[in-house]
Structure 1
Amino acid sequence: MIKKEKNMGVLGMSNKPKQQLQMDREFGDLLITYLEQLGVEYVFGVPGGAIEPFYSALARSERRGGPRAVIARHESGAAFMADGYARNTGKLGVCCATTGPGATNLITGVASAYENNIPMLVITAQTALSTFGRGAFQESSCTGTNTVGLFEYCTRYNTLISHAGQFEAKLVSAIMTALQSPGGPVHLSVPLDIMRDKVSHTAPTYNLLNLLNKPSLVDDVAVKHLYEELLNARNPVFLVGDDASEAIGTILSLAVDLGARILVTPHGKGLVSPYHPLFRGVIGFAGHQSARDVLSDPSVDLLVAIGATLGEWASDGWDTQSLLTTKMIHVESVEENFIRTPMAKLHVRGRLSTIFEHLVEKLAKNQRHKIYAIGESSAPAESFHREPELHFIMDDPESYCSDATPIKPQRLMRELPKIFPPNTRYLADSGGAFTWATHYLHPYDRRIAGKRNGRGGLFRASLEFASMGWAIGSSVGTALAEKGCPVVCITGDGSMLMSGQEITVAIQENLPVIFVILNDSCYGMVRHGQRLTGAEPIGYELPVIDFSAFARSMGVASHIIHSPDDLLALDIAAICNRNGPTLLDIRIDADEAPPMGMRTKALKSSQYDK
């Protein structure tokens, strides 16, 4: 005879009334209900004792088809995954960790998101409230290793939930802060006993979609002034940053109508087709001389910077001769970015999509001023009979075309867009990988203007905080967000040794991520930076690692690439259609110096600025 527990049916199915089941919900279940309002599909993290009630709620959610857990190998990887998911969906990224070292391990990934305004909800656990101050295992309260204090400087909202009655209001306040302008990570520290406490009501108190539905506010006077400046400009230039992503279609349409040459910051690379007839390259770190030449052209009478943070890497080391000048108009939705352009002749505030829709409409009524016209093309890469024409100049065209062995990193960047499909997403890690990709990687996006996906382009990097290993974790979040699109993670051997364990998440999730390892047995940026700045050569060596064998040990398909012929011999269709990751161990020419002149110049000058 089978003994049944009270109120339990066959196979453990509950016989309780539906209302009773709702009343048994814990605060973790309530949190997930709010994530469902926002369409969030994944929570990235690593389980642990104090965060277990939240994972129990995630298990219940997954069984009914709601948001589910994706388990990282290190908490910083979880934050990077949430970052990649948020960038590519426009939704809230969510990551979580247990108390103590779980929470502190998150900090690097959260700080990276903070510097790049990535909307992220960070949930960390605390030991039970009754244990505060008593030396509990991994205690992280104000009387232990104060994790709330640690997160203060890398979040836009940061609080401990000390009473169950605070939970819902603080959660909603945090989410609204994360998704406002400027966005960024927010942190809730939740004690174990509060997370598992029962919710006293059956439905969420707040409707997040209503609360987040804000009108598009525009400064009409400033937009009118901007329009007049555009009409009167003889030789305008547009500088596009990553915050311009939601309006990039109308921005490009306006540039085409005006014949304005287009530059991008390193952050904005990927928003504009490299083959656009008006595109003249990347300005700033690892950028192109042709872009600098445009800015120093004396005939340029107007520079419109759009959604550009204009920190060191985006402003060519704070160039006050040709970039940060009185010829600039700065158009922004994030007002704090105006702090970096006090010299601008005009600051235009508002939602960028609304601003540029107004400008395009105004210009369409003024047909006599439409001086430039280009037909839009969206031809896939396979249809090209010859390599499409670039309208900017790269530093080393010989290496870009070189057949040498070991393969030149310049040639590698040339070939990647040729062999992978046009919808491939590329992520470049901090270090040499970013510099090579920024200067030499040009995905085959042939669109000239018109409507675009407002969540960014085919290329992404994480600058400012520039965490090594960001691309490894973020590529997992990107692949979950962009199902059906190959994702290429370009990273270095140093980053792979630091965070390569996250490749196993791509295995578990059956994600077609291609990890391209630039293997030169050194920290390349350190080695070449020391040489270029005259510093002592120290600390840059890495052991010779067979990353292909490392991949195979985990069941990951892998290939060693010595030459361009090895690369071109790959079965790319099989790689892109694989239910799991692939690792390419690229043995690059270690003597090739990355295009990092702007960075070395800044390091040299800082020696004498004291």
Structure 2
Amino acid sequence: MADLLVAYLAQIGVEYVFGIPGGAIEPLYNALARSSRAGGVRHILARHESGAAFMADGYARESGKIGVCCATSGPGATNLITGVACAYDNDIPLLVITGQPALPAFGKLPLQESACTGVNVLGMFQHCTRYNSLVSHPKQLESKLVAAMQCATRAPRGPVHLSIPVDVFRSPSQTLVPSYDLRALLAPSSLVDDEALASLCTMLSESRKTVLIIGGWCCEAIDPILQFAQLKGATFVTTPDGKGLVNPYHPLFRGVFGFGGHASAEAALCDEDVDLVLAIGVSMGEWNSGGWSGSLLNERLVHIDESEDNLALTPMARFHIRGRILSIFNRLIEGMHDGGPGCTRPLERTSPRLVLPAWRPDAMLAAPEKYESDATPIKPQRLMRELGRLFPPETRFLADTGNSVSWATHYLHPADRRISERRIGGGERKRGAGRRKAGGGWLRVTMNFASMGWAIGGAIGTAVANPDAPVVCITGDGSVLMNGQEISVAVAEKQTVIFVVLNDQALGMVKHGQRMAKAEQIGCDMPPTDFAALARALGAPAHTIRSPEDLAALDIDALCKRKGPTLLDVLIDPDEVPPMNVRMRVLLNQH
């Protein structure tokens, strides 16, 4: 049965399974070994099971496929839970496979039993998966696998879990050829509510000034969304998890709304002339709604999303439209070009590109003088400037939970990103496979559950999925001390990942949050750690960075071409307070 499971993964183009072996899951590893020898699906060994889940998360975001991770029973399975919960709260599709002792041993205290008669791992996963089941008979495997995969890839997306006893895994299969075509079964639906779309077109035609909020689930549709913004002449802001989908130098961009965001984005939404706000692919959690800001949650709001769960969080909105975002915006653009029902042509154009004044993100920064500072130790603001300037346009950046995500969200602005798509014959939708992958974007962050160390494993999964693009992991010293052992995986797999460690000898967000809240300073300071030496001990070259001059001296081109990871131990100014006012506003109001 294990070979059949691997055959299904191969059928949908999954190339890697991330995990750690053990006795209860040995048959799956035997099948992966056979697959690897034949040039098929292969295994990547994590150093901790949570790291395996984070790697599968990063792989899913970059490849647009489902991420797969596995672990043995008992502690192997429980170690996965943090990474799985993180994926659940961020709608990342994962297939999670855990082992179990043989069925006849249930209830007899076998080693690492995690069934209902032991430490009930299945019950634990119930609260952080979209589908969760014990495969108690070989004939259940195919039907439960198909059901799980459909739940993983249909909105709301997320992880699914199958717990498979070792004797079921070892059971012979009548065939190694899948009975079902998963590719067809998992193909996205393009259904659109025509009546709702006509109502939206009417609202757009009557709107004097429209602003878009682009969320993290707009990736598949980002090109037509930007094309729509140009045709409509609508400015747009993004959520923190949507920032990586757009060019920060786009003339219509007004910054990030939410955690680590910009006053310019808040101003764009609070503009009294704005009578329509389209929130697109936005989950409306604390970090990507400005702490449930009143400037967003009001009667001007139209919420567009594929997930009914997300739409349920905006009962105050003027209008909801549910459907595949790509299909909705393809139809909107066609209507604007063709003058379809309820749609007018908002802009008369003489060329396919909208000509607007240049927009510089520097203008919206909270501390532009620190963005240019030559001070030592290096200002984190200046570090973000240099990272955006030095690395090539195809670089993927992952910002870890903590100060890393706030600094990156506010100050990281790589240039030379595309503005929108070219369309054939005006309104006709773009043909071919040129759209971005379903989980793409130049910046990846994690919202909601926000696990420290997510970016370390996620960066490795990203590099595995796309070995042609450099990957930069922006992480903190606290996260490295939790999950830095996964750097060893990048060494073993020869993945081009540059780990940038913000070393301020503290749990920075905790330290600054305590100061801003006038709370006790406790549990946040850490002793000096030489992360460059730690990386070398794991087999990765490393550099200690104290100043902008140290950064300038690096051969970035060589780092990006090297088949293997590099670590930059960056000693940042520990007194610089990250842009985290949204978080503090919510915390201080919870009393």
TM-score, normalization by structure 1:
0.92
Question: Contact between 2:66 and 2:95, CA under 8 Å: does it hold in 1?
Answer: yes
- Give the CA deviation at 1:375: 6.8
- State the distance in 2 between where 1:370 and 1:37 align: 45
In structure 2, the gaps of 5 or more residues are 423-434
Tell me what 2:273 maps to.
299
Question: Contact between 1:279 and 1:392, CA under 8 Å: does it hold in 2?
Answer: no
- Give the CA deviation at 1:214: 4.9
Alignment of 1:438-449 (within 5 A): 438-449=409-420
Tell me what 1:216 maps to.
190
- What amino acid is the match of 2:512? H
Question: Contact between 1:278 and 1:391, CA under 8 Å: does it hold in 2?
Answer: no
Tell me what 2:346 maps to.
369
- State the distance in 1 between where 2:353 and 2:413 align: 18
Question: Contact between 1:280 and 1:391, CA under 8 Å: does it hold in 2?
Answer: no
Q: Deviations over 1:135-191 (max 9, x none)?
A: 111111111101101100000100111112211111111111111121110000000
In the alignment, structure 1 residue 52 sits paired with structure 2 residue 29: no
Ranges of 4+ aligned residues in structure 1 off by more than 3 Å: 371-377
Q: Of residues 139, 142, 158 in structure 2, which corresponds to 1:168?
A: 142
- Give the CA deviation at 1:309: 0.6
- Give the CA deviation at 1:257: 0.8
Question: Contact between 2:96 and 2:162, CA under 8 Å: does it hold in 1?
Answer: yes
- Look up the SS of the partner of 1:602 in the other structure: helix
Tell me what 2:201 maps to.
227
- Give the CA deviation at 1:418: 1.0
- What amino acid is the match of 2:436? N
- Give the CA deviation at 1:296: 1.1
- Give the CA deviation at 1:444: 1.5
Higher mean C-alpha deviation, range 307-316 or range 439-448 = 439-448
Higher mean C-alpha deviation, range 159-168 or range 433-442 = 159-168
In the alignment, structure 1 residue 312 sits paired with structure 2 residue 286: yes
Q: Residues 132 and 65 of structure 1: is their aligned pair in 2 closer, same or farther, counting only changes over 3 Å?
A: same
- State the distance in 2 between where 1:550 and 1:267 align: 31
- Look up the SS of the partner of 2:132 in the other structure: strand
Question: Aligned residues, how many?
Answer: 571
Q: Deviations over 1:551-577 (max 9, x none)?
A: 111221100000001001101111111
Q: Residues 371 and 592 of structure 1: is their aligned pair in 2 closer, same or farther, counting only changes over 3 Å?
A: farther
Q: Deviations over 1:263-288 (max 9, x none)?
A: 00111111111000010000011100
Q: Of residues 387, 391, 395 in structure 2, which corresponds to 1:420?
A: 391
Q: Of residues 461, 465, 478 in structure 1, which corresponds to 2:445?
A: 461
Q: Deviations over 1:286-309 (max 9, x none)?
A: 100011111111011110110001
- State the distance in 1 between where 2:392 and 2:22 align: 40
In the alignment, structure 1 residue 99 sits paired with structure 2 residue 82: no
- Look up the SS of the partner of 1:32 in the other structure: helix
Alignment of 1:9-24 (within 5 A): none
Question: Contact between 1:376 and 1:447, CA under 8 Å: does it hold in 2?
Answer: no
In the alignment, structure 1 residue 522 sits paired with structure 2 residue 506: yes
- State the distance in 2 between where 1:388 and 1:417 align: 16
- State the distance in 2 between where 1:590 and 1:181 align: 41
Q: Of residues 102, 105, 123 in structure 2, which corresponds to 1:128?
A: 102
- Give the CA deviation at 1:129: 0.8
Q: Deviations over 1:475-515 (max 9, x none)?
A: 00000111210000000000000000000110111101000
Question: Contact between 1:376 and 1:448, CA under 8 Å: does it hold in 2?
Answer: no
- State the distance in 2 between where 1:201 and 1:447 align: 47
Question: Contact between 2:256 and 2:262, CA under 8 Å: does it hold in 1?
Answer: yes
Q: Of residues 328, 334, 358 in structure 1, which corresponds to 2:301?
A: 328
- Look up the SS of the partner of 2:164 in the other structure: strand
- Give the CA deviation at 1:392: 4.9
- What amino acid is the match of 1:404? A
Percent of paired sites with the same residue = 56
Alignment of 1:250-289 (within 5 A): 250-289=224-263
Higher mean C-alpha deviation, range 429-438 or range 201-210 = 201-210
- What amino acid is the match of 2:376? T
- State the distance in 2 between where 1:459 and 1:144 align: 42
Q: Residues 446 and 204 of structure 1: is their aligned pair in 2 closer, same or farther, counting only changes over 3 Å?
A: closer
- Give the CA deviation at 1:326: 0.4
Q: Residues 359 and 337 of structure 1: is their aligned pair in 2 closer, same or farther, counting only changes over 3 Å?
A: same
Tell me what 1:397 maps to.
368
- State the distance in 2 between where 1:472 and 1:294 align: 34
Q: Deviations over 1:310-369 (max 9, x none)?
A: 11111111112x111100111111111111111111111111111100100111124852
- State the distance in 1 between where 2:541 and 2:451 align: 27
In structure 1, the gaps of 5 or more residues are 1-26, 378-386
In the alignment, structure 1 residue 108 sits paired with structure 2 residue 82: yes
- What amino acid is the match of 2:333? V
Q: Deviations over 1:381-434 (max 9, x none)?
A: xxxxxx983375110111111000000000000010111111100000000000
- State the distance in 1 between where 2:162 and 2:285 align: 29
In the alignment, structure 1 residue 358 sits paired with structure 2 residue 335: no
Question: Contact between 2:100 and 2:113, CA under 8 Å: does it hold in 1?
Answer: yes
Q: Residues 215 and 465 of structure 1: is their aligned pair in 2 closer, same or farther, counting only changes over 3 Å?
A: closer
- State the distance in 1 between where 2:390 and 2:351 align: 28
- Give the CA deviation at 1:243: 0.8
Give the CA RMSD over aligned residues.
Answer: 1.5
- Give the CA deviation at 1:445: 3.9
Tell me what 1:290 maps to.
264
- Look up the SS of the partner of 1:430 in the other structure: coil
- State the distance in 2 between where 1:215 and 1:185 align: 20
- State the distance in 2 between where 1:558 and 1:134 align: 50
Q: Of residues 108, 122, 126 in structure 2, which corresponds to 1:148?
A: 122
Tell me what 2:426 maps to.
none
- State the distance in 1 between where 2:286 and 2:39 align: 45
- State the distance in 2 between where 1:292 and 1:99 align: 48
Q: Deviations over 1:510-531 (max 9, x none)?
A: 1010000000000000000000
- What amino acid is the match of 1:520? D
Tell me what 1:340 maps to.
313
- State the distance in 2 between where 1:590 and 1:505 align: 30
Higher mean C-alpha deviation, range 82-91 or range 362-371 = 362-371
TM-score, normalization by structure 2:
0.95
- What amino acid is the match of 1:268? G
In the alignment, structure 1 residue 245 sits paired with structure 2 residue 219: yes
- State the distance in 1 between where 2:491 and 2:560 align: 14
- What amino acid is the match of 1:365? D
Tell me what 2:471 maps to.
487
Question: Contact between 1:405 and 1:562, CA under 8 Å: does it hold in 2?
Answer: yes
- What amino acid is the match of 2:407? W
Question: Contact between 1:306 and 1:332, CA under 8 Å: does it hold in 2?
Answer: yes
- What amino acid is the match of 1:450? E
Question: Contact between 1:530 and 1:536, CA under 8 Å: does it hold in 2?
Answer: yes
In the alignment, structure 1 residue 552 sits paired with structure 2 residue 552: no
Question: Contact between 1:40 and 1:92, CA under 8 Å: does it hold in 2?
Answer: yes
